[in-house]
Chain A
């Protein structure tokens, strides 16, 4: 899932600026399960903004609403009326959600309430870790299911570098060395010989480096096309 983190209230206040009517829009999917921008968080942020603005002597009218997914047009249609009544929309969706609102409501000023961090998973309650970098050309089949692009600080394809110590990365002891993990896993699976192949330079064109990406599935499109 997409993992995000709330911006500080100070930053959110600066983004909202002088707008008097604010709609905080939560998202019911990824950012709900990572407790960053679901219905509860939207209600909390709305209360925070109301209280802070009141204490500053310039009370704002702040309401909140949460849609199932900010990244799909039909869910956004459901909040069109509320969006039309405010000066600014504070989206607690990921970067996709913010942009979907901007794209769907061309006359609406929308600002982000979250920092979208990564694609990852919860290791335990309250702890999330990055797992995928969306490089567009999955190599997990070569590495025993552990991604060196997302999890090695240098994205090495022929690791580990000389900075691997006691299972952690040279960057800091909190980061497990992806190549140590890959080595251990391939060893336990009896597949270490995989590591003797030199992996060629990666085709980064399939990643973001090739420009913004798009997928068209003709089998799924409807009607006769344009």
Chain B
């Protein structure tokens, strides 16, 4: 885990965000290079924000919502999945790997599973390597 990777996790407050909190309370270890963004529901995932995260150099984006059937807003997690799939297609069109974005489903009690999800995502991204947009030299102009 020596490589410097930047992961963004968009987490629903009813499940993944609470699970991450619990993981912290339980002192569970998970890769430190993930930055958590709180969402009121995974259905609030904004495709543009996720895309801009990748443009700005994030290596991977995970979206974590409630278990299917358990969404506090009924179907927000299902809508999020559709958007993740759309983002994956969009990344491919741009020339990035679809695997840089992935959807996970958890409950608030699943602290260990949250830690496991972050590890899984990190391994997936480590295989892909850093976001190539980071390696491309910036424009010479200010």
* Chain B interface residues (CB < 8 Å from chain A): 47-48, 51-52, 54-55, 90, 93-96, 132-133, 136, 139
Contact = CB atoms under 8 A, between A and B. Distances in A.
A10 B95 CA distance: 11
19 contacts: A9-B90, A9-B93, A44-B47, A44-B48, A47-B48, A47-B52, A47-B55, A48-B51, A48-B93, A51-B51, A51-B54, A51-B94, A51-B96, A52-B93, A52-B95, A56-B95, A59-B136, A59-B139, A61-B139
A79 to B, nearest CB: 21
Overall SS of chain B's interface: helix
A51 B133 contact: yes
Interface of A: 8-10, 40, 43-44, 47-48, 50-52, 54-57, 59, 61
Given A50-B55, A55-B133, 5 more contacts: A47-B48, A47-B51, A51-B54, A51-B95, A51-B96
Contact of A10 (B51, B93, B132): B93
A191 B50 CA distance: 54
Contacts of B55: 47, 50-51
> In the complex, which of the residues A10, A47, A50, A56 has the most CB atoms of chain B within 10 Å of its own CB atom?
A47
Contacts of B94: 9, 48, 51-52, 55
Overall SS of chain A's interface: helix
| Pairs of residues from A and B, 10 with the lowest C-beta to C-beta distance, nearest first | A9-B93, A55-B95, A52-B94, A51-B94, A54-B136, A47-B51, A47-B55, A51-B55, A44-B48, A59-B139
Contacts of B51: 44, 47-48, 51
Nearest to A59: B139
A8 B95 contact: no
B94 to A, nearest CB: 5
Contacts of A51: 51, 54-55, 94-96, 133
